[in-house]
Structure 1
Amino acid sequence: MNKKVYHKDLGVKDYKETWDYQEELFQETLNLKIRNRREDLDLETPNHFLFVEHPHVYTLGKSGDIKNLLVDENQLAAKGAKFYKINRGGDITYHGPGQIVGYPILDLENFFTDIHKYLRLLEEMVILTLEEYGLKAERSKGETGVWLDVGTPFARKICAMGVRASRWVTMHGFALNVNADLGYFDMMIPCGIKDKAVTSLNVELGQKEISMDEVKEKLLKHFAALFEAEIIKQKTTT
């Protein structure tokens, strides 16, 4: 039987507010898992999958180097951008308008207990979605995320990923550039990788704008198939 995954599209939402909401869902699931073990219960743990679009923000993962942010606080403010050091893996990442950010808060014990497999399936979800637009997206060896023209001088990243997991419960996730302003990536060394460019779906297709809702539906479809999940859409109240 397919596992239920509750989906919310938060629309445009501040990064810190969304991070707090993620933490709330994450902690609720952890607490339920702890209770199940302590009291020998078998209560079902929930799985969530959030979509959101953030105002301009830069986030630095636990293993990241602040030197990969190439601007100071005043320059950030002038660009209307914020900065946060956060508890996911990975280095520095940018989020902003025109980018679909996905946060799966899953209890992987409902699916499989393999973080490597989890990341590869998230990548595959994006790869299959981009294939529907005629793009051959790939993995780049040793680098999490999704790329185009891997192994050539024109390699460019279209989707960044960084996750956190505790007791097999996940948070954080991926950021897929759909109609992103690529100028904001010039203010950092993306993911700490100096020799590769960044791109966006609309740039690759030579279009001014791609339907974000259309891309979201394709991502959900592939997520459901890959994770053998039943997507249950919920209205946003947060």
Structure 2
Amino acid sequence: MIYSSKPHSCLLYNQGLMPYLDALQWQRSLLTERINNPNLEDVLILLEHPPVYTLGQGANPEFLKFDLDKSEYHLYRVERGGEVTYHCPGQLVGYPILNLHRYRQDLHWYLRQLEEVIIRVLAKYDLQGERISGFTGVWLEGRKVAAIGIKVSRWVTMHGFSLNVCPDMTGFERIVPCGITDKAVGSLAEWIPGIKCLEIRDQIAQCFSEVFGVKLVDSQYRRY
């Protein structure tokens, strides 16, 4: 759906493997800049993270299956919504920094649009992504393949979505992903053997452009 007669530009940063804290600092810098200057372009960052666990604001540590004080794993509590999740190579993460004044000032709408991006990507592989009432994310045949957690400040977004493409799934065994005890997680590699994140990146970008009605502009990362 296009929300203006002329799609506005959205900077696309296609990154490789980036430490979680580096990406977090980058997002915060981009968000602050756009709060101070609402005329700046929107941004979509696509990347992967080394293994890391994150807890959303107010997340319940009971969903961790290891001792928080004696953990050998990197774990951070951040400002997004949602419970605990896991990032690792083979999982494609998307961080949209969008000024929702350009779209719709409605967080539920925004969450559904992020789900729609993933659902359209899956449809390109003849897979039917599904929503489950009362939950946020996208499922395939009852297995959660995409998680979403966002933060919005003055209607500018940060954090975003993660899609399990071909990750080592054992990292999910140490948590209750997203705090959902009765639904398993899955990855696209279970349905599409041999699939890699590099292929999915282009599909994500195209579907994001369609859903949000933006023109993506390839951009180069500069360290903040």
1:24 corresponds to 2:29:
yes
> Does the residue aligned with 2:137 lie in a helix, a strand or coil?
strand
- Per the TM alignment, residue 194 of structure 1 is displaced from its structure 2 partner at its CA by 0.4
- Per the TM alignment, residue 211 of structure 1 is displaced from its structure 2 partner at its CA by 2.8
> Does the residue aligned with 2:171 lie in a helix, a strand or coil?
helix
2:46 corresponding residue in structure 1: 51
What is the distance in 2 between the residues matched to 1:63 and 1:95? 19
Q: Which amino acid counterpart does residue 48 of structure 1 have in structure 2?
A: V
Superposed counterparts of 1:166-177, under 5 Å: 166-177=153-164
> Does the residue aligned with 1:194 lie in a helix, a strand or coil?
coil
Query: Does the CA-based 8 Å contact 1:3-1:110 persist in structure 2?
Result: no
**RMSD of equivalent CA atoms:** 1.3
Q: Which amino acid counterpart does residue 165 of structure 1 have in structure 2?
A: V
Post-superposition Cα deviations, 1:133-174, rounded to whole Å, max 9, x if no partner, equal 12111101110000122xxxxx21000000000111000000
1:221 corresponds to 2:206:
yes
Question: Larger Rg: 1 or 2?
Answer: 1
2:174 pairs with 174, 187, 212, which one? 187
Superposed counterparts of 1:83-232, under 5 Å: 83-149=75-141, 155-205=142-192, 207=193, 209-232=194-217
Superposed counterparts of 1:29-40, under 5 Å: 29-33=34-38
* Identity among equivalent pairs (%): 39
- Per the TM alignment, residue 196 of structure 1 is displaced from its structure 2 partner at its CA by 0.6
Query: Does the CA-based 8 Å contact 1:13-1:54 persist in structure 2?
Result: yes
> Does the residue aligned with 1:84 lie in a helix, a strand or coil?
strand
Structure 2: runs of 5 or more not aligned:
1-5
> Does the residue aligned with 1:101 lie in a helix, a strand or coil?
strand
Higher RCO (Cα < 8 Å, 6 or more apart): 2
- Per the TM alignment, residue 73 of structure 1 is displaced from its structure 2 partner at its CA by 5.3
> Does the residue aligned with 2:166 lie in a helix, a strand or coil?
coil
What is the distance in 1 between the residues matched to 2:49 and 2:149? 16
CA separation of 1:118 and 1:49: change in aligned 2, threshold 3 A: same
- Per the TM alignment, residue 58 of structure 1 is displaced from its structure 2 partner at its CA by 0.4
> Does the residue aligned with 2:191 lie in a helix, a strand or coil?
helix
Structure 1: runs of 5 or more not aligned:
34-43, 150-154
Aligned residues: 218
What is the distance in 2 between the residues matched to 1:200 and 1:21? 27
Question: Runs in 1 of length 4+ with deviation above 3 angstroms?
Answer: 73-76
Post-superposition Cα deviations, 1:153-203, rounded to whole Å, max 9, x if no partner, equal xx2100000000011100000000001111110000000010010000011
TM-score (norm 2): 0.93
What is the distance in 2 between the residues matched to 1:212 and 1:156? 19
What is the distance in 2 between the residues matched to 1:76 and 1:55? 16
1:13 corresponding residue in structure 2: 18
CA separation of 1:223 and 1:197: change in aligned 2, threshold 3 A: same
1:3 corresponds to 2:28:
no
Query: Does the CA-based 8 Å contact 1:139-1:146 persist in structure 2?
Result: yes
What is the distance in 2 between the residues matched to 1:124 and 1:58? 25
